Structure 1
Amino acid sequence: MTASSPTATRFGVACSVIASALFALMYYQAALLAPLGSAAIYGWRILLTTPFLGAFLLLSRRWDEVATIGRRLRARPSLGLVLLLSSALLGVQLWLFMWAPIHGHGLDVSLGYFLLPLTLVLTGRLCFGERISRLQLVACALAAVGVVNELLFAPRVSWPAFVVAFGYPCYFALRRVLRTNHLGGMWFDMAFSLPVGLWFIAAPLPEGVHAMRHPVLGILVLGMLSAVALAFMIAASQRLTLGLFGLLSYVEPALLVAVSLLLGERISQSQWLTYGSIWAAILLLVFEGAVAMRAVRPRDLPA
């Protein structure tokens, strides 16, 4: 089954949607585990996901990605300091994903994920000289209107949205510069986070935890969701063209909005311009991506 076959494409689309749904479920599951605290939930996620990612790399015969970084680290120990920075940038994002639904900032983080494709476009242009199309430029301008509205008129500044929207581009840009922008690099980032995760887990538990029903089961469910979602995401990336994979990435923030509303959050009247501008920008990117995909002939797709 090749990446260009209709069967592979349908399977890849299904995997991508399932991954987005599982990440949204994990968002909701974090709210159910609220008495544990976001730091402990983050710690358990790191502890349960890192071994799974390592096992996947071994089974898919991609452990050489990890081994290559290990050899570079032995030859140049100072590289470890930069890898620690890369790990910290990812760790902040993974912690924020667990923290937001617990503390009423689920919509803010989902807004950040909607903004992310646009800030990645700007990062590619400013840092790596990548070409930016007219539609992408218009989309960025629309998003800028939303950002300005958020800063000037929103009842509170959506700082988690800006942490996601500008933190992830810094992380991805650093990984590109370090040449660790593959799964092996992500494994190193998560492995470097393990001591912090274990420290969070070892901290005294809040009083409310003792009133929880089956907290261990809830933690295991969280780890399972994280691991399986990652597996489906990887499966989708291997079977879809980059353009289609990118377009389907908008499903996750849409589901995060739904989960946030389900948890009781609401979009304030002053934020509708923010969301409307950014959603319009996203629609432009989706339109551009769809047109580009229709222009690609089957023989141009990767085998």
Structure 2
Amino acid sequence: MPLYWHLLKVVPSLQIVVHRIVWSALLVSAWLLWKQGRGWLQAALARPRAAWMLALSGLLIAFNWGLYIWAVNAGHVVESSLGYFINPLISVVLGVAFLHERLNRVQWLSVALATLGVAWLTWQLGQPPWIAIGLALSFGLYGLIRKLVAIDAVSGLGVESVYLFLPALAVLLWGETHGSGGFLSGGWGVGIDVLLVIAGALTALPLIGFAFAVRRVPLSVVGLMQYIAPTLQFLLGVLFFNEAFDHDRAVGFGFIWVALAIFASDGLWRSRRQAALATT
């Protein structure tokens, strides 16, 4: 994803976001129309609390996309990866705060270590890592709302896309008529126009694939795989984009990586133990 948005760096971040929303909405709506028929939207909104909660989750995911795209093209890939590293722990804290879930001692230790890592980075940098915190909180709250709404992933994304479509289209058209756009006018080039359209598929297809895969892959495996993306982002930030990663940042990241290793190991051990008990 950072490499893809880097290819679009000549396009203003807001324009990338609205293109991403528009083309994603068209793709997901077409998919749902094909799979579920013309009544898919009415059926989705008929679920309890779905209408306003999916409107809120749509705003959160749009904010998350916008912040991430801006951060990548502004040279903050490493800090963006930090946001997705701490996101699982933010989700755990939100579960405790809003869903009355309970944590064991090992999980609390993980949360404490991650908090120390963020505190260390705040002290060394002179300010909190706002990009990372913004990404983690927006995606964590998004996940919390989607957990509370009894709707499958693809239909939920479809409703969110419908809510965001008209505002995004309005911003896109305004930009095209006021000099900040260049789509199909030669301003950015044919290659950039194609990449903007494909951005919709790049948004929707992984989420659709996840919706199917999560039913077939053990959750313990899914939990571990969620760290692959931020790891790749971090490596790209350091090795490809040549962003700074000094000793002070290494200490802060180290606290968070240890916290994640403890958290993931505990989850894997518990999953295997439950599977063994079920077999017995």
Q: TM-score, normalised by structure 1?
A: 0.78
Q: 1:248 aligns to what?
A: 225
Equivalent residue number for residue 248 of structure 2: 270
Question: 1:246 deviation in Å?
Answer: 1.6
Q: CA deviation at 1:33?
A: 0.6
1:86, 1:171 within 8 Å by CA — same for their partners in 2? yes
- Please say if 1:90 is aligned against 2:61: yes
| 157-166 vs 111-120, which moves further | 157-166
How far did 1:120 drift?
0.8
CA distance in 1, matches of 2:153, 2:208: 14
Displacement of 1:96 in angstroms is 1.7
Shift of the 71–228 alpha-carbon distance from structure 1 to 2, 3 Å rule, reads closer
Aligned residue in 2 for 1:290: 268
- Per chain length, whose mean CA-contact separation is higher, i.e. which structure has more relative contact order (CA < 8 Å, sep 6+)? 1
Q: Is the 8 A contact 1:40 1:197 kept in 2?
A: no
State the alpha-carbon separation in 1 of the partners of residues 38 and 263 from structure 2.
35
CA shift for structure 1 position 55: 3.8
Q: Which moved more, 1:107-116 or 1:219-228?
A: 219-228
Q: 1:127 to 1:114 in 2, by over 3 A?
A: same
Q: Deviations over 1:150-191 (max 9, x none)?
A: 221125532110112222222233334454574322221122
Name the CA shift for 1:216/1:286 in 2 (closer, same or farther; >3 Å).
Answer: same
In structure 2, the CA distance between the partners of 1:228 and 1:176, relative to structure 1 (3 Å rule), is closer
Letter in 1 for 2:116: V
Distance 1:288 1:38, change over 3 A: same
Taking the aligned partners of 2:96 and 2:41, their CA distance within structure 1 comes to 29
- The equivalent of 2:121 in structure 1 is 150
Q: CA deviation at 1:211?
A: 5.9
SS of equivalent to 2:10: helix
1:187 aligns with 2:158: yes
- Taking the TM superposition and a 5 Å limit, the aligned residue runs for 1:220-231 are 220-231=197-208
Cα gap change, 1:28 to 1:60, in 2 (>3 Å):
same
CA contact 1:172–1:181 (8 Å) conserved in 2: no
The residue that corresponds to 1:219 in the other structure is 196
Aligned residues of 2:44 and 2:156 also touching (Cα < 8 A): yes
Q: Secondary structure at the match of 1:240?
A: coil
Kept after mapping to 2: 8 A contact 1:65/1:182 = no
Aligned length: 271
Q: CA deviation at 1:56?
A: 3.8
The CA deviation at 1:260 is 2.0
**Structure 1 residue matching 2:73: 3-state secondary structure:** coil
Structure 2 spans left out of the alignment, 5+ residues: none
SS in 2 for 1:90: helix
Judged with a 3 Å threshold, the aligned counterparts in structure 2 of structure 1 residues 258 and 172 are, in CA distance, closer, same or farther, namely same
Q: 1:180 to 1:150 in 2, by over 3 A?
A: farther
Partner of 2:29: 54
Counterpart for residue 259 of structure 2: 281
Distance 1:231 1:68, change over 3 A: closer
AA aligned to 1:239 is R
Kept in 2, the 8 Å contact 1:62–1:184? The answer is: no
Residue identity in the other structure for 1:247: L
Distance (Å, rounded) in 2 between the aligned partners of 1:72 and 1:120: 24
Contact 2:33–2:40 (Cα < 8 Å) also in 1: no
TM-score by length of 2: 0.84
Equivalent residue for 2:46, pick from 41, 56, 71: 71
Of residues 26-35 and 53-62 in structure 1, the stretch that sits farther from structure 2 once superposed is: 53-62
Match of 2:14 among 39, 43, 46: 39
Structure 1 position 259 matched with structure 2 position 230: no
Q: Which amino acid aligns with 2:13?
A: S
| Structure 1 pair 282–158 and aligned structure 2 pair: CA distance change class (3 A) | same
* One-letter identity of the residue aligned with 2:16: I
- Residue 30 (structure 1) aligned with residue 5 (structure 2): yes
Give the aligned residue type for 2:124. Answer: F
**Cα contact 2:153–2:208 (8 A) shared by 1:** no
